[in-house]
Structure 1
Amino acid sequence: MSVSQMAMSRLHKLVESLCSRRNVNLPIEQGKCLYTPIEGGVELFHAHFLLDSQHSEYTSPIAKILFDIERQIWCFYVPTEFGEEIHWIPYKTLPFSSSLETLLNELESDPQACFWQ
């Protein structure tokens, strides 16, 4: 059984809404929230801008949300660097949930101050 098209559409809609809420009225120097659809989920990024630029200087990965087909749950990952490579590890505070909203609320509120620093 794979993740349904409806579940993926819902994920994309909720993440788009999260990014829009986060980006509205946010000073450009604080960066913007971006996301990219990937197979079975999304990757979220923090775009960094120079003060006088409308284009992002670089992006940093901040989170990945994937659907685990076997367990039928959403998994929440954060990046860690090993040399120049980025590896994804489970987010210690909330590594998975059956509720997509729970994961997105954690990401948006950032109680551990690790996503939007």
Structure 2
Amino acid sequence: MSVSQMATSRLYKLIESLCSKRNVNLPVELGKCLYEPVENGVELYLAHFLLDSQHSDYTSPVAKITFNVNAQAWCFYVPQYHGEELHWTPYQHLPYSHSLEALIRELESDPQACFWADN
């Protein structure tokens, strides 16, 4: 198993825990946190539900975390739209870190109110 595979496995475990904690006792109208594995990382989304539905009406991107093998650092991105096209841009306040936990703390606490505030 390569370093990046071990690192991404750790990321999946931490993100799954973050989503589980965030979704507990959260009203469905505020959206449910979910993630999708991508190459060397994850993309986080909020699933939005209609009030009378158990199925997601649509999802909106929240953040993306990937591991850069060459830099041996985690890269942290936020979604930006150019027209209708989604682009991931570096998170201005913490674009990368050698500590995965630092990125997870930033995501959980959302000090800039850009991940969870509008959702």
2:27 corresponds to: 27
2:50 corresponds to: 50
- Confirm whether residue 75 of structure 1 aligns to residue 71 of structure 2: no
Q: What are the ranges of 5 or more consecutive residues in structure 2 without an aligned counterpart?
A: none
Q: What are the ranges of 5 or more consecutive residues in structure 1 without an aligned counterpart?
A: none
Q: TM-score with structure 2 length normalisation?
A: 0.94
Q: Number of paired residues? A: 116
| CA displacement 1:2-55 (0-9 Å, x = unmatched) | 643221111100000000000000000010100000111000001111111111
Question: Which amino acid letter does the alignment assign opposite residue 4 of structure 2?
Answer: S
2:98 corresponds to: 98
CA distance in 1, matches of 2:59, 2:93: 24
Q: Give the conservation status (yes or no) of the 8 Å contact 1:3–1:40.
A: no
Q: Give the conservation status (yes or no) of the 8 Å contact 2:36–2:42.
A: yes
CA distance in 2, matches of 1:83, 1:45: 19
Q: Give the conservation status (yes or no) of the 8 Å contact 1:43–1:65.
A: yes
- Counting aligned pairs with the same residue, the percent is 72
Q: TM-score with structure 1 length normalisation?
A: 0.95
